[in-house]
Structure 1
Amino acid sequence: MECHYINLDNAVERRSTLEANFARCRREGWELKRFAALDEATAEKNAIPGKRSWREKGCFLSHQRVIERQPDDGRSFMVLEDDAQFGLTSMEVIEGVLAENGSAQWDLLFTDINPLQMDIMMMLALNRSQLMEKRMVIPLDLSRISFVGTTAYVVNGASRGKLLAYLEAGIPVDTEYDIYLNQGMVNGELKAAALFPFVTTLSKHSTKTQIQSPNTSTANRARAVFRRMMWLESSEESYKADLATIESHLQGTLHGRVAMLAGAQYVED
Structure 2
Amino acid sequence: MQVTYINLDRNTERRAALEANFAAHNPQGWSLSRFAAVDGAKLDTPVVHTTLRPAVAACFLSHRGAVEQSAARDGDAMIAEDDVLFGPSSERVIAEALRSLPPDWDLLYTDVCISNFHTMLELFALRRLRTGRSGLLPLRGLPYAGSTAYIVNERSKGRMAELFAASNLSLAYDLWLRRLVYDGVLTGYATFPFATTLSTHADDSQIGIGKEFSMTGVWNAYRRLVWCDADPRQTASEVHGNDFDVLAADEIEMLRLLAQVIAGKCGDTWSPALRRAVKGESP
How far apart in 2 are the matches of 1:257 and 1:188? 42
Counterpart of 2:200 in structure 1 is 204
CA offsets, 1:176-208, max 9 Å, x none?
111111111111111000010111111111112
Shift of 1:111: 0.6
How far apart in 2 are the matches of 1:209 and 1:198? 23
Shift of 1:92: 2.7
> Which one of the candidate residues 170, 189, 193 is aligned to 1:193?
189
Q: RMSD of the TM alignment (CA)?
A: 2.9
How far apart in 1 are the matches of 2:57 and 2:65? 12
Corresponding letter in the other structure for 1:158: R
Correspondence 1:59-78 to 2 at 5 A: 59-71=59-71, 75-78=75-78
Which consecutive unaligned segments of at least 5 residues does structure 2 have? 207-211, 267-283
Counterpart of 2:110 in structure 1 is 111
Corresponding letter in the other structure for 2:35: F
- Is 1:42–1:58's contact at 8 Å kept on the other side of the alignment? no
- Is 1:116–1:146's contact at 8 Å kept on the other side of the alignment? yes
Shift of 1:100: 4.5
Counterpart of 2:86 in structure 1 is 86
**Secondary structure of the structure 1 residue equivalent to 2:52:** coil
Shift of 1:146: 2.0
**Secondary structure of the structure 2 residue equivalent to 1:56:** helix
Are 1:140 and 2:137 an aligned pair?
A: yes
Q: Cα–Cα, structure 1 residues 246 and 54, in superposed 2: closer, same or farther, change >3 Å?
A: farther
CA offsets, 1:69-91, max 9 Å, x none?
22356510100000000011211
Counterpart of 2:98 in structure 1 is 98
Counterpart of 2:146 in structure 1 is 149
How far apart in 2 are the matches of 1:245 and 1:170? 42
Counterpart of 1:166 in structure 2 is 163
**Secondary structure of the structure 1 residue equivalent to 2:223:** helix
Correspondence 1:48-63 to 2 at 5 A: 48-63=48-63
- Is 1:107–1:163's contact at 8 Å kept on the other side of the alignment? no
- Is 2:109–2:150's contact at 8 Å kept on the other side of the alignment? yes
**Secondary structure of the structure 1 residue equivalent to 2:239:** helix
How far apart in 1 are the matches of 2:21 and 2:14? 11
**Could you tell me the percent identity over the aligned residues?**
31
CA offsets, 1:215-259, max 9 Å, x none?
x971221111100000111002432232217978x856x9x7897
Corresponding letter in the other structure for 1:235: D
Shift of 1:162: 1.0
Shift of 1:209: 5.0
Counterpart of 1:121 in structure 2 is 120
Q: Cα–Cα, structure 1 residues 245 and 11, in superposed 2: closer, same or farther, change >3 Å?
A: farther
How far apart in 2 are the matches of 1:111 and 1:73? 21
Q: Cα–Cα, structure 1 residues 257 and 30, in superposed 2: closer, same or farther, change >3 Å?
A: same
Corresponding letter in the other structure for 2:182: V
| Number of residues of Structure 1 aligned to a counterpart in Structure 2 | 259
How far apart in 2 are the matches of 1:190 and 1:139? 16
CA offsets, 1:122-155, max 9 Å, x none?
11011111111xx321111100212111111000
TM score, norm. by length of structure 2: 0.82
Q: Cα–Cα, structure 1 residues 73 and 40, in superposed 2: closer, same or farther, change >3 Å?
A: closer
